[in-house]
């Protein structure tokens, strides 16, 4: 995988003063074992994210954390300043997940350090990040990397599973406080959570005395996102059972009566990433009955 830079979107590393090129050196191809499995991709399509633990070794986690503490005020430029953060995304196990979602030549959109000071008891408003999107099924990925443990009391990110199928405008959902089924995940150091760009989320209060950091890297694909993951067993009875269960009304209670509409969106996304125009996990097989195929 090689990250490329579109100067119309964000400056490349060569334009950042005092930095070195990132992910420009030749890297070996990613082995199949590092790609997302069909089960993991089904989770991503259903919930809008996949959480992968133990991706980054402890020594590198500690090195990144030291850089975050030193350079956290350079929130947008941290990617260019820290060689250690770039090493994280050069790891084959990390590249494999990203390649499964956005291909082997994604385009850099932006990066950012999210920082919550210790004993900051204010939560962030619900929002989705920069959704100005004309694509039917394609998606950007936001990788949230944690260099340190973040238990619930430290305020790890709250997400609303399945919300990536509801295209909202940035903070238009900020008037909401809580949703049935919202999920706050305790995090272990070395974990990366890979989010669909449409996921609704918000940072939570930090009730500890320790500052909390998480690094976000957003990448957009430079190709169709079709069959990029390990597709072995994508239509197996186990995967189909999981996906079809997720299409049953009230699977995610917050969706209310619109869950049937969401099931159609989810089924179209599964057809897209698998490259199979005939597979149908929509509620009451709506796609097949209406002879709908992705384009």
Residue 156 lies in a domain: yes
Domain termination site, one of 220, 245, 266: 220
Residues 278, 192 within the same domain: no
In what helix (H) or strand (E) does residue 214 lie, and over which residues does it extend?
Answer: strand 212-220
* Whether the predicted pLDDT of 23 surpasses 50: no
pLDDT digits (tens, 9 = 90+) for 212-264: 999 999 999 999 999 999 999 999 999 998 998 877 766 788 887 777 788 88
CA atoms 130, 133, 136, 141: torsion sign: negative
Question: Rounded to 5 degrees, what are φ and ψ at 271?
Answer: -60, -40
In a domain, residue 118? The reply is yes
Residues 250 and 114 in one domain: no
Q: Are residues 140 and 246 in the same domain?
A: no
CA distance 172 to 207: 27
**121 and 23 assigned to the same domain:** yes
Is residue 227 assigned to a domain? Answer: no
Instruction: Assess whether 267 and 149 both reside in one domain.
Output: no
The set of residues, in sequence order, having a beta carbon less than 8 Å from that of 270 and lying 6+ positions away, is 42, 45, 243, 279, 281
Per the structure, the count of domains in the chain is: 2
**Could you report how far apart the first and last alpha carbons of the chain are, in Å?**
26
Q: Is the same domain home to 14 and 96?
A: yes
The reported pLDDT for the residue numbered 22 is: 44
Q: Which residues of 183-193 are buried (b: 16+ CB within 10 A; e: fewer)?
A: eeeebebbbbb
Q: How far apart are CA 71 and CA 73, in angstroms?
A: 5
Full residue range of the structural domain in which residue 267 is found? 237-289
Q: Are residues 120 and 241 in the same domain?
A: no
**Are 114 and 214 contained in the same domain?**
yes
pLDDT digit string, tens, across residues 42-85: 999 999 999 999 999 999 999 999 999 998 788 888 998 899 99
Instruction: State the pLDDT at residue 18.
Output: 44
């Amino acid at each position: 995988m090689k990250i490329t830079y579109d100067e119309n979107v964000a400056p490349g590393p060569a334009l950042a003063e005092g930095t070195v090129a990132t992910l420009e050196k030749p890297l070996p191809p990613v082995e199949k074992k590092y790609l997302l499995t069909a089960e993991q991709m089904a989770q991503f399509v259903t919930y809008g994210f996949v959480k992968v633990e133990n991706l980054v070794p402890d020594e590198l986690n500690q090195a990144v954390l030291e850089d975050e503490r030193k350079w956290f005020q350079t929130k947008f430029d941290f990617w260019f300043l820290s060689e250690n953060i770039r090493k994280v995304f050069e790891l084959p196990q990390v590249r494999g997940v990203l390649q499964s979602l956005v291909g082997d030549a994604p385009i850099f959109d932006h990066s950012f350090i999210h920082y919550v000071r210790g004993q900051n008891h204010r939560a962030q408003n619900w929002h989705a990040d920069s959704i100005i999107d004309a694509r039917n099924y394609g998606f950007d990925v936001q990788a949230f990397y944690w260099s340190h443990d973040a238990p619930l009391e430290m305020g790890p990110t709250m997400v609303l599973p399945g919300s990536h199928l509801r295209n909202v405008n940035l903070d238009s959902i900020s008037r909401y406080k809580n949703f049935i089924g919202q999920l706050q995940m305790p995090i272990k150091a070395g974990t990366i959570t890979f989010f669909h760009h449409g996921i609704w989320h918000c940072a939570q209060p930090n009730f500890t005395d320790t500052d909390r950091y998480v690094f976000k890297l957003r990448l957009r694909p430079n190709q169709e996102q079709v069959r990029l993951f390990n597709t072995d067993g994508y239509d197996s009875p186990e995967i189909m059972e999981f996906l079809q269960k997720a299409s049953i009304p009230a699977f995610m209670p917050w969706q209310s009566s619109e869950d049937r509409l969401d099931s159609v969106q989810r089924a179209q996304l599964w057809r897209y990433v698998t490259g199979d125009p005939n597979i149908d996990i929509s509620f009451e097989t709506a796609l097949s009955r209406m002879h709908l195929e992705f384009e």
